[in-house]
Amino acid sequence: MMKHNLTRALIVLTLGALAAPVSAEIRTAQVTGGTVAGVAADGISVFKGIPFAAPSTGQNRWRAPQPVEPWSGVKTADRFAPGCMQDAQMMRFIGSDAGVSEDCLYLDVWTPAKTAGEKLPVMVWIYGGGFAAGATSSPTYAGKELAKLGVVQVNVAYRVGVFGFLAHPELSAESGQGSGNYGLLDQIAGLEWVKRNIAAFGGDPSNVTIFGESAGGISVSMLAASPAAKGLFQRAISESGGSFAPPRTGAAGAAGENVPTLAVAEAAGKAFLGKLGVATLAEARALPAEDVQKAQGAGLGTGFWPVADGHVLLGDQYVLYGQGRFNDTPVLIGTNSDEGALFVRPGTTTAVFEQMVRAGYGQRADKILAAYPHATDDEASRSAQDLMRDSLFAWPTWAWARLQSARGRNKAFVYYFDHRTPQSPNGATHAAELGYVFRTLDARGGTPRPEDTATSELMSRYWTNFAKTGDPNGPGLPEWPAFDEKGQRVMVFDGDSGAQPVPNLKKLEAMDAYFAWRRENAAPH
C-alpha cells in the first residue's frame, strides 16, 4: 500500500512538473571576442563586465578604443568591472564597491528576453559625474526594474577626467583627427558593440535609445550632433544635460561656455604634461595611472571636458542644429527645479551675486541681473542657485527643445522635475530624478513614500514607452504633449503631475539673449 501511494505521488509530481511553465532565460551569449555567461533571477538575465574594447592601458592610453581581445572558453560575467580611473571617493559616493582601474572599458546588460531574436527595445545608459567620475555599477542605475517593463538595458563605461579628455598636439598628430574625446569615443564604441551584439540578448539593434544624466545627458546631446555616432541610436533621452553654448576660446571661458576649442584644449594638455614632469607623450604613457590621477587632483574640478576637435564634435552645436546638421531622432529631455543647490552654497550676498554676474556675463550683465531678483541677500542666494541651474542645465535643454521642434522631423518631449521630499523641500536637486526613472528609490537605503513610488511608476513608464515607440504616452498616463515653439508646454512632475507652460520662462529668455550675444561676438578660432 505504501509503495502504491509513493508511486502515485511520484507520478503526480512528474505530471505537475511537466505541466508547470518552464523558466527560460538567456544564460549565455556569443559576443564579439567570445562567449559570456550571466546569471538569471526573477525572470531577468544579467551580464556584468563584458569587454567591448581592449584595455585602455599602455600604448592605448589616450587612444581611441581598440578592438576587443578575444578569449577562449566561457567568460563568467557575474560582477561589475572596476570604474574608470577617478577619485576613489567618487565611487564610494555613488555606492559602488567595484574599485577603479585604467582597464575599464566594459558594459553590463539586463534583459527580460527568454530567447535571442525577440527584438526588444534597447536603452543604453551613459552615467554622469562631471566628465570626471561615474561608473556603471552604481546601485541607482541597476537595470532590473526597467527590464521588467520590457526593455533591454545596457550600461556603458567610458573614460573620464584626464584619461578621457586630454588633448595635446602630439595626440592630434598621432590620430590625424584631433584629440581629447576618448571618453566620447568609448561611448560610440559601446554603441557599435550594441549594434553588433545586442540581438544575442533579445534586443533590437535597430531600436536603440541612448539616455544619460548630467555629463551623461550632455554626452547624449553631443552624440545627437556627432557624425561619428550617426545611425547608432534611434531615440535620445537627456536628463539635465545639453551642449548648446558657443565653444570656449580662452583658458577661463565666459559663463556657460564649457567645451574648449582644440587649440585651447591642446594648450591645457601641454601644461598638464609639464605638471607631470615629462616632455613627451611616450613618457606620459609610461607613468603609472595612479601618478597621472594624482597629478589631476581629487574631486570633480579636473578641468578636463569634451573638446570641439572638428571630428567627434564639429563645433557650436546651436549653429549645427540651425543648419540641420544633427542626428535627427525623437528626444525626451528635461531638468530639475533646484539643480543649482548642489553647486552653489546658500549664503550668496547681494554684493557677491552682482560681482559674480558682472564677471561672467560681460555686457549682458545688467539684463541678467534684471531677470534674477537680488535686492536682498536671501533673494541673491536663491538667484545664484537659479542662475547656475539655468546656465548649465535649463537653458541648454530649452534651446535643444526649440531647435529640435523647429529643425527636426521628429518630436521633442520636455519635462520639469519638481517632486519635493522632506529632504528637498525647496525643489528637486541635481540627479534627484534618477531613482524615480530606474525604479531604484530604495537602492541607497530608506523607505519611499507612496507619492514617491507613484511618481517613479509614472516616470519609468514614460521613459520605457518612449524607448519603445518614440512617444512617452500610453494607456492610463496623463497626456504629455510634444513641445513646440508656440505652445511650449512641458510635463511637470510634482504632486499633481501634468502638462504646464515652461517654468521660469523669463529667466530662460534672458539667458537665451546672453548666449546669442556671446555667439555673435565669439572670437574667431
In terms of Cβ atoms closer than 10 Å to its own Cβ (0-12, 13-18, 19+), residue 421 is middle
**Comparing C-alpha atoms, which of 317, 129, 144 is closest to residue 224?**
317
Can you tell me the distance from the alpha carbon of 61 to that of 47, in angstroms, rounded to the nearest whole number? Answer: 26
- What percent of the chain is modeled with pLDDT above 90? 91
1: pLDDT strictly greater than 90 = no
- Kind plus residue range of the DSSP H or E element containing 238: strand 235-239
User: Based on C-alpha coordinates, what's the Rg of the chain?
Assistant: 24
Say if CB 366 and CB 312 are below 8 A apart: no
Looking at residues 254-277, what average pLDDT do you find? Answer: 96
Which residues have C-beta within 8 Å of that of residue 242, sequence separation ≥ 6? 217, 218, 221, 333, 393, 396, 397, 399, 400
- Spell out the domains of the chain, with CATH numbers in brackets: 36-329 (3.40.50.1820)
Would you state the cell numbers that stand for residue 156, as one nine-digit string?
A: 556603458
- Kind plus residue range of the DSSP H or E element containing 324: none
> Phi then psi for 29, rounded to 5 degrees?
-150, 140
pLDDT at 298: 84
- DSSP secondary structure string for all residues of 95-156: T--S-EES---EEEEEE--SSTT--EEEEEEE--STTT---TT-GGG--HHHHTTT-EEEEE
Task: Give tens-digit pLDDT for 169-190.
Answer: 999 999 999 999 999 999 999 9
- Kind plus residue range of the DSSP H or E element containing 341: none
- Say which DSSP state 477 is in: S
Catalytic positions are 214, 339, 430
| DSSP-based three-state secondary structure for 308 | strand
Work out the mean pLDDT of the chain and round it to a whole number. 94
Task: Give tens-digit pLDDT for 352-400.
Answer: 999 999 999 999 999 999 999 999 999 999 999 999 999 999 999 999 9
Can you tell me the distance from the alpha carbon of 45 to that of 108, in angstroms, rounded to the nearest whole number? Answer: 11
Taking the model in full, what pTM does it have?
0.95
Looking at residues 474-484, what average pLDDT do you find? Answer: 97
Task: Give tens-digit pLDDT for 335-355.
Answer: 999 999 999 989 999 999 999
Dihedral sign of CA atoms 517, 518, 519, 521 in order:
positive
| DSSP-based three-state secondary structure for 73 | coil
